[in-house]
Amino acid sequence: KRPVGVPDKSLARKVTKVGIVGAGLMASQLALLFARRLQVPVVMTDLDQTRVDKGVGYVLGQIEKTVAKGRMDEGTAAKLRGLVSGSVDKSVIADADFVIEAVFENLDLKKQIWAELEKIVSPEAILATNTSSLSVTEMAADLEHPSRVVGFHFFNPVAVLPLLEIIKGERTDDATLATAFAVGRELKKSSVLVKDAPAFVVNRVLTRFTSEVFQAVDAGTPLDVVDSAFDPLGLPMRPIALLQLVGPAVAYHVGETLHRAFPSRFADSPTLKKIVDAGLPLMVDDEINPEVAKLAVGGSA
Ligand code: 3HC
Q: What is the CATH number of the domain that holds 101?
A: 3.40.50.720
Of all residues in the chain, what percent carry a pLDDT higher than 70?
A: 98
Q: Whose CA is nearest to atom 31 of ligand 1?
A: 236
pLDDT tens profile 123-151: 999 999 999 999 999 999 999 999 999 99
Structural domain harbouring 30: 9-194
ipTM of the complex: 0.95
- The pLDDT of residue 16 is 98
Closest CA to 114 of 132, 100, 135, 95: 100
pLDDT class of 298 with cuts at 50, 70, 90: low
Domain boundary among 194, 227, 242: 194
52 plus 81 within the same structural domain: yes
Closest CA to 241 of 194, 289, 202: 289
The predicted model gives 197-211 an average pLDDT of 96
The predicted model gives 289-296 an average pLDDT of 89
Phi, psi of 190 (to 5 degrees): -90, 105
Contact 148/180 with Cβ under 8 angstroms? no
Q: What pTM was estimated for this model as a whole? A: 0.95
161 plus 98 within the same structural domain: yes
- The pLDDT of residue 132 is 97
Please state whether 234 falls in left (phi above 0), alpha (psi between -120 and 50) or beta: left
Q: Whose CA is nearest to atom 9 of ligand 1?
A: 157
Ligand 1 centre to CA of 159 (Å) is: 8
pLDDT tens profile 72-85: 999 999 999 999 99
Helix or strand or coil: residue 151? strand
Ligand 1 centre to CA of 48 (Å) is: 29
Which residues belong to the active site? 153
In a domain, 2, yes or no: no
**28 class by beta-carbon count within 10 Å (0-12 exposed, 13-18 middle, 19+ buried):** buried
